[in-house]
């Protein structure tokens, strides 16, 4: 039977004070599905290898209770930050979900905030804020998915990374990047060096990066549609219906005044435009919703779906007001 545990102060038993202690307790052979729910709004300051002794189809889920989940902006919910090391999460087993967490690696590293280097299958990274270190460490880094297997990253935002979402499919599998947003990275979304397999990007936004999109594949297929790039005629941004050269980070996102602490929700002035992205072809593990957990109806491009009329009320954020329906 499935086991549900809590992580953080005051959680229900079984309870663990750190993410690493919860991970060390995982026993899929005895418990089946394993869920660890963070129940404290704090910086856990951890780097964790998720490497269950027993592989299989039972799912390992690291999630955050709604009361402690970020609102899509920095330091607004549970988080884990490190200033040393090569990763925050190194996933080395199949069928893992990490969701609703801010994950930050503020160090010059050669790997990723989330690092999927092993031949993993059934991985889902969803509703996460990925922050790199001085535009060097990767946000989401994936390679080596075998033929017939897949990895998904969805409804996530990344900034201050060398590559916000680095997809390097080399072993014939499928990697899906769906409805993600990248800003203030050296490369926003990169298909880098893959020799086989298929890299899918649908409904993604890369704006305000040195290179919004980059494609250096050497045999892998790149596919997808309804993406956004700030560069006109951006050959690396896939899709006949993709928007290229018509938007900037300042026009599309709510607030990028502080490029180390942006608000990458979709600007309400864009309500009704640049939506209608694909609702299918998003992979087996597409979780639905957007970065805030709201249902997608218009299928706005990027991590955020604007909900409700754009003329509704305002709420304060960082001493400015933002017209964002999710915060009304």
Confidence class of residue 51 from pLDDT cuts 50, 70 and 90?
A: confident
Confidence class of residue 55 from pLDDT cuts 50, 70 and 90?
A: low
Q: Using one digit for the tens of pLDDT, what is the confidence trace for 56-107?
A: 789 999 999 999 999 999 999 999 999 888 889 999 899 999 999 999 998 7
State how far the Cα of 141 lies from the Cα of 163, in Å rounded to an integer. Answer: 8
State how far the Cα of 144 lies from the Cα of 142, in Å rounded to an integer. Answer: 7
Q: Are 142 and 57 in contact (CB under 8 A)?
A: no
Q: Are 139 and 173 in contact (CB under 8 A)?
A: no
**Per-residue pLDDT at 319:** 32
Q: Using one digit for the tens of pLDDT, what is the confidence trace for 123-169?
A: 999 999 999 976 668 999 987 788 888 999 999 999 999 999 998 87
User: Which residues are CB-contacts of 319 (< 8 A; sequence separation ≥ 6)?
Assistant: none
Determine the straight-line distance between the first and last CA of the chain, rounded to whole angstroms.
40
CATH code of 99's domain? 2.160.20
Task: Name the residue range of residue 12's domain.
Answer: 3-327
**Per-residue pLDDT at 213:** 98
State how far the Cα of 104 lies from the Cα of 73, in Å rounded to an integer. Answer: 13
Whether pLDDT at 277 is above 90: yes
Total tally of structural domains belonging to the chain: 1
**Per-residue pLDDT at 313:** 29
Record the pTM: 0.92
Average pLDDT over residues 15-26: 97
**Per-residue pLDDT at 53:** 65
Cα-only R_g, the chain? 18
**Per-residue pLDDT at 134:** 66
Q: Are 136 and 166 in contact (CB under 8 A)?
A: no
**Per-residue pLDDT at 111:** 72
**Per-residue pLDDT at 169:** 73
State how far the Cα of 91 lies from the Cα of 151, in Å rounded to an integer. Answer: 11
High-pLDDT (> 70) share of the chain, %:
89
Phi, psi for 38 (deg, rounded to 5):
-75, 130
**Per-residue pLDDT at 70:** 98
Q: Which of 286, 283, 217, 212 is nearest to 243 (CA)?
A: 212
Range from 48-52, 209-213, 270-274 carrying the lowest mean pLDDT: 48-52
**Per-residue pLDDT at 119:** 59
Confidence class of residue 269 from pLDDT cuts 50, 70 and 90?
A: very high
**Per-residue pLDDT at 205:** 98
């Amino acid at each position: 039977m499935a086991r549900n545990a809590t992580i953080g102060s005051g959680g229900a038993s079984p309870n663990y004070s750190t993410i690493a202690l919860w991970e060390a307790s995982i026993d899929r052979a005895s418990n089946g599905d394993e869920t660890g729910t963070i129940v404290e709004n704090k910086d856990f300051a951890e780097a964790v290898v998720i490497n269950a002794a027993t592989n299989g189809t039972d799912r390992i889920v690291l999630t955050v209770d709604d009361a402690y989940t970020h609102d899509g902006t920095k330091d607004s919910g549970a988080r884990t930050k490190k200033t040393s090391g090569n990763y925050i999460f190194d996933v080395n087993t199949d069928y893992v979900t990490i969701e609703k967490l801010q994950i930050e690696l503020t160090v010059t590293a050669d790997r990723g905030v989330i690092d999927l280097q092993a031949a993993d299958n059934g991985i889902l990274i969803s509703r996460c804020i990925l922050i790199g270190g001085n535009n060097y460490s990767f946000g989401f880094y994936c390679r080596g998915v075998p033929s017939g297997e897949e990895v998904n990253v969805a409804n996530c935002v990344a900034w201050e990374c060398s590559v916000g979402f680095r997809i390097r499919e080399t072993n014939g599998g499928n990697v899906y990047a769906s409805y993600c947003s990248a800003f203030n990275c050296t490369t926003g979304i990169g298909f880098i060096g893959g020799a086989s397999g298929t890299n899918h990007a649908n409904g993604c936004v890369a704006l305000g990066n040195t290179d919004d999109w980059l494609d250096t594949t050497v045999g892998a297929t790149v596919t997808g549609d309804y993406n956004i790039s700030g560069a006109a005629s951006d050959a690396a941004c896939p899709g006949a219906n993709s928007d290229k050269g018509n938007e900037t980070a300042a026009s599309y996102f709510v607030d990028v005044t502080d490029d180390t602490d942006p608000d990458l929700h979709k600007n309400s002035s864009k309500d009704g435009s640049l939506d209608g992205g694909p609702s299918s072809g998003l992979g087996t593990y597409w979780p639905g919703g957007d970065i805030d957990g709201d249902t997608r109806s218009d299928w706005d491009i990027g991590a955020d779906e604007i909900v409700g009329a754009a003329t509704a009320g305002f709420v304060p954020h960082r001493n400015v007001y933002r017209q964002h329906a999710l915060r009304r």
